[in-house]
Amino acid sequence: MEYYIRTEADVKIFVHDINPGGKTTILFIHGWPLSHRAYEYQFNKLPAMGFRCIGMDTRGFGKSGKPHTGYSYNRIADDIRGVVHALDLKNFVLAGHSMGGAAAIRYISRYNGYGVSKLALFGAAAPSLTMRPGFPYGHPKEDITQIIESSLKDRLQMLRDTAPMFFSKPITQPQSDWFFLMGFEASGIATAACAMTFRDEALFNDLDKIRVPTLILHGIHDQVCLFPLAEVMHQSIRNSVLIPFENSGHGLFYEEQDKFNSELARFIGQV
């Protein structure tokens, strides 16, 4: 099923809903600059295991509305809340990759974990993607600024240049095209504005507010959200488990599909 949900901010959010009769619901939040289609290889397998899989395109990306403003973590969390309300989701698993993982964390913090029974984070951009005083594990802020400037000057070339960072090994042309085409769907303003968000915002105070069991899956070769971020999250989130992916970079759900699907299903507890 595919449909649109109009949020309180009057933005249409596109939703892809597979196996609505599944016993357990997983709401997937994609990363920058992708869309729900990044989870193709989860949507191919997990519904057959009994899961209801919902993928939403965050504002500015994929098939969702593309407003000129509203790309903070708070606003994205508000959009997630709008989807949860519209679909009347209860006891669901909230799952997020990269910036989507950060948005999932903010949702938990901002809405006191409303409706969420478990949290799953994949290469999450938390607690900070950039280096800060006392936090040396991210990227220099200047590197993210360069991505923002490239997005505003030549976004298509930026997507081509960024694609190899997503994977742990040299990529094929089809892999590059897969990444490029999802990024191409996004709004240019959203692409740059979200990069400003993950450059400037941090979630240190959010981690302690997570009260649900949390799974952290992270590629040890991740060049985007470096592996030490996963270790910090694991140390900061009570009742969390960290599973390193030895053969993956940032796109672990693509590079190690079988392991990824198996670990996620095991965490949720249906297999």
Question: Which residues are designated catalytic?
Answer: 98, 222, 250
59 contacts 70 by C-beta, under 8 angstroms = yes
Range list of β-strands (E), 45-135: 51-56, 92-97, 116-122
Half-sphere exposure of 76 (CA within 13 A, CB side): 29
How far apart CA 53 and CA 42 sit, in angstroms, is 8
Which residue do the tokens 């900061």 mark?
236
Please tell me the chain's helix, strand, coil percentages from 3-state DSSP, rounded to the nearest 5. Answer: 45, 20, 35
232: tokens are 């910090």
